[in-house]
């Protein structure tokens, strides 16, 4: 079990370094709520509030969801309980966050 937690730790560390080393900037005013998600819906808001490309990865780095939203609501009811990595692209900006689904 310790190995599993170690893998998860290195996975999130690698995502954070990949995020900071990129040429794209952070999304201004990025908010993700509620987190942890318990009702199958999460809301993503930004200052620009334009179309957002959403990628969701499981803890092993496998992409489990790719979608585009125009508003703020993202339906995650088809995902299993667990820990995920959420990556949001808005215009030339990107934000990466840990997402927990209960």
What is the structure's pLDDT at 69?
Answer: 95
Q: Which architecture characterizes domain 2-101 according to CATH?
A: Sandwich (2.60)
Spatial neighbors of 25 by CB under 8 A, at least 6 apart, are 92, 93, 94
pLDDT averaged per 10 residues in sequence order, the chain, 102 residues:
59 52 72 94 93 96 96 94 96 94 94
Three-state SS sequence of the chain: CHHHHHHHHHHHHHHHHHHHHCCCECCCCCEEECCCECCCEEEEECCCCCCEEEEEEECCCCEEEEEEECCCEEECCCCCCEEEEEEEEECCEEEEEEEEEC
What is the structure's pLDDT at 1?
Answer: 63
What is the structure's pLDDT at 102?
Answer: 92
What is the structure's pLDDT at 19?
Answer: 47
What is the structure's pLDDT at 23?
Answer: 43
What is the structure's pLDDT at 20?
Answer: 46
């Amino acid at each position: 079990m310790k190995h599993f937690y170690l893998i998860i730790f290195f996975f999130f560390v690698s995502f954070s370094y990949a995020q900071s080393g990129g040429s794209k900037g952070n999304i201004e005013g990025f908010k993700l709520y509620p987190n942890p998600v318990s009702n199958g819906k999460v809301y993503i808001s930004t200052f620009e509030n334009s179309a957002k490309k959403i990628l969701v990865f499981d803890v092993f780095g496998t992409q489990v969801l790719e979608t585009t939203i125009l508003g703020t609501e993202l339906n995650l009811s088809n995902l299993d309980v667990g820990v995920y990595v959420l990556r949001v692209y808005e215009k030339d900006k990107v934000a990466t966050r840990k997402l927990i689904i209960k």
